[in-house]
Structure 1
Amino acid sequence: MPGLHRPRLLRGARLPSPVDAPRIDTDRLTLRPHRLNDAAEWFALQSDPRTVKYIDWELRNRDESLKHLRDRTRKTRLWQADDFLALAVEHDGALIGDVSLHLRTVEAEQRSAEVGWVLNPEHSGNGYATEAAAAMVRFALDDLAATTVTAVIDRRNERSVALARRLGFTHYSSTPTHVTLAISRS
């Protein structure tokens, strides 16, 4: 049933210790946990049809957007497979996007995570998505100790595919609708 989750006790292996949401500062951006006072900027991002064109989100009204943001404020710990971490992408004090990690495999020798990114289209073309995604990939490889990081992208989203390739991702697999790219720890 939608909305039901297995208790942590029944979800299997864990990391030796949880990895909590960091604050990551890059040259121009701050990646940090979402806050409820991001609501207006989060709604602006989620109510723009260009934002959801290639991702599995519906356009949201203010109430739906606030509910989604509230959920994201709780996505702050990676510990077991399928845990999800979401960070706000902030530029000059304003929320302009989101980067995320899904912990896919816990075991140290094959630990994997899936990275995702979304940027308010009003801020595209400035390299912010590349900067934020690069920081999240470094976090996954260095702090989470993932051996592999994947990105699952709608194959029509040429800009995101190009972004992943600029970061060093290579083709891993594909379906008729999506391409999966991967980068491994060297």
Structure 2
Amino acid sequence: MTTAPTLTGDGLRLRPHVIDDMEAFWAFYQSPRAAFMDRPSNRTHLWYGFASEVGSWPLTGMGGWGIEIGGQVAGQVAITHPPHFAEPELGWFLLESFEGKGIAFEAARLALDYARTTMTPASLVSYIHRDNARSIALAKRLGGTHDPAAKAHDADDVVYRYEVRP
């Protein structure tokens, strides 16, 4: 696969990233909403992270999707397994104006369904900062279970696991 597949859900679309997504992502990372995430320190670092989400698709068969609603980017959902992660991760973030509408759940559910029908890992995890109550609630709503035995990405993370293959 050379690019992210397009997936369609209830009122949203997961699509390959486009360069215009970067400006909205930069604004997100500058906001307090990104407090629990590894933030890029400058636009060059944003480019590195953004390009890795796009470039992961041909390299590993997984990566990031832009969440699109009504022609606007609403955030990102991704299934990634960079070398510094112990396991493949399901991750997400939403831009502020799209929060509280069930969009993150729908986008993450689409990505999880894609993993269950197309990918090979036995499970996926979400590395979530222990104080990020909203993402923990979303992980639970998606059927994730807290896995205290899993290796966390950062010392402040908790790990939630989703079964992909029985």
- TM-score w.r.t. structure 1 length? 0.73
For residues 113-164 of structure 1, the C-alpha deviation after alignment (integer angstroms, 9 at most, x for no partner) is 2111011122111111111111111111211132211111101001111101
For the structure 1 residues 183 and 71, does the alpha-carbon distance in structure 2 shift closer, same or farther, using more than 3 Å as the test?
A: closer
What is aligned with 1:100? Answer: 78
- Counterpart Cα distance in 2 of 1:181 and 1:67: 26
- Counterpart Cα distance in 2 of 1:78 and 1:163: 29
Cα RMSD for the two superposed structures: 2.6
Letter in 2 for 1:45: F
Residue of structure 2 aligned with 1:115, choices 65, 87, 90:
90
CA contact (8 A) 2:77 2:91 kept: yes
Question: Does 2:152 align with 1:177?
Answer: no
Greater Rg by CA = 1
For the structure 1 residues 180 and 70, does the alpha-carbon distance in structure 2 shift closer, same or farther, using more than 3 Å as the test?
A: closer
CA contact (8 A) 1:49 1:59 kept: no
- The within-5 A match list for 1:124-163 is 124-163=99-138
- State how many pairs are aligned: 158
- Counterpart Cα distance in 2 of 1:166 and 1:25: 20
Identity over aligned pairs, percent: 28
- Counterpart Cα distance in 2 of 1:142 and 1:57: 32
What is aligned with 1:109? Answer: none
What is aligned with 1:25? Answer: 8
CA contact (8 A) 1:100 1:117 kept: yes
Give the structure with the higher percent strand. 1
Letter in 2 for 1:142: T
